[in-house]
Structure 1
Amino acid sequence: MSNYIPKENISIDESLLLWKGKWKRYIPIKRARFGIETSMLAEAETGYEWDLLLYTGKGTEYACEIPGLSDQAIAKLSKPSKIVLAPVKPLLNMGYVLGMDNFYVSPELYDILLAHGTDAVGTVRFNRKGLSDDVKEKKLNKGETITRFNNKVMHMKWRDKEYVNMLSTVYEDSMEMVQSGGKEVSKPTVCIKYKRMHMEGVDLMDQVTSASSVTRKGVTKYYKKLFFRLIEMSLHNCHVIYKRNGGQENLLGFKLLFIEQTVSAYSKDVY
């Protein structure tokens, strides 16, 4: 945190480190499906991992003391809201735009973020409390949308192959023409921007660590898996800073350079 300030767009998402022992979680949409779960806050453009929360069971605590919220109000917050507010707290009132998926998104969370100078965009589940009833109940034909605003919060439902439900404080209810399946189709701007600009961060980090020694079957201790993954994450973060300061090497080249310099420094200390 002290070495890097993320750009405007940040994202939070859960990640699974393949594991079938202690603290095992099951998330069917993830590649690993079973594993150690971490909720990660990352820069959307580069995947710089700014903070993470490790799930350690039902007793996992989330330190989300927010100015203006009483202890009673914080206690009443849903678990997903607490998971978001804990790592994002140092970035509040700084003009960030936070992207997240429907596990985290809710009107109560958006109200808190807006009150602390932070915008948000994401998909939202139809059964969340506080959503517009007429939007939830409206039947649409393919390509149609319905939108309602509550102050700055936009609730949009769009019919594609299935219904897509969005909540945003940064986009209007405009449409754009994009290429899809070899032809031009009209899609809501919020859906296009959400996928392209706001939700890549954690996926980028997962791509980096999935190709590393973290996935080796020979690693049988959960703390070893976590240790190796933290090493890979740290190297990726270092590479982001290296590139931001004019570095030209790709991640593999940077790792080799890092190894050479580390071995050289160690050799001087020893000999």
Structure 2
Amino acid sequence: MLFLLMGALTLCGMYVSLTNGMFDISAANVVRTLLRIHPNADHDLVIFDFRLPRIVLGALVGFGLGVAGAVLQGITRNPLADPGILGIHAAAGTFVVVFMFFTAGTMKAPDWLSVLTMPVFGFLGGLAAIVLLFLFARRAGEFDPQQLILVGIALASGFGAITLYVSLKMDPQNFEMAAVWLAGSVYNANWRQILSALPWLVVLIPVIWRRAAVLDLLQLHEVSVKGVGVASGRERQVLLLCCVGLV
């Protein structure tokens, strides 16, 4: 029932987003536009260039972050865990802001490459956070879920401070661009950005799906996890790397 209720609310939100705004479009015209029945140039522009990309990108982002959050809750055995608590968000943001600081307005690249550049730098930042987690969140060579959270909070604070320092060194135009990116916005969403997000989801979600049973087993005591034949350290590393890609 909860799944059906949330699905219905999602569809209602999509309906309102497609039909309402500065340029209202009736539900019938939305259906005709989507099915290409007597297409109208104005309707095509509003739906396919502005509203639909925002809806699709927002859904993909929410889906990816939701899966990543669920995985991190399983790894840490903490229902409050999320990519922000473990410092992955902050590290990804730091690397992207540093990239903007050194290249904004000067990097020459094709459109498809420029769209992929920021996600790749975000991924590298997430990897940096994971490496530091691997170094500092171990006890006697094994991951300690509680220590993982404490180290993650410290990393989030450290990377956040670096991001703030670099942002304040930017010129006003680049600072505004960085602030919008860090805050998160789908205002200028387009199909290129959607295509740049899809490979991460298409590749990593099945990897996580195949390890759903392992996530359940990781809720047991560490001795019990090893007793049922799960290589807990390796599985946590794989799952953490998948979370970095999704974030």
TM-score, scaled relative to structure 1 = 0.28
Higher strand share: 1
Higher helix share: 2
TM-score, scaled relative to structure 2 = 0.30
Tell me: higher relative CO, structure 1 or 2? Use CA pairs within 8 A at least 6 residues apart: 2
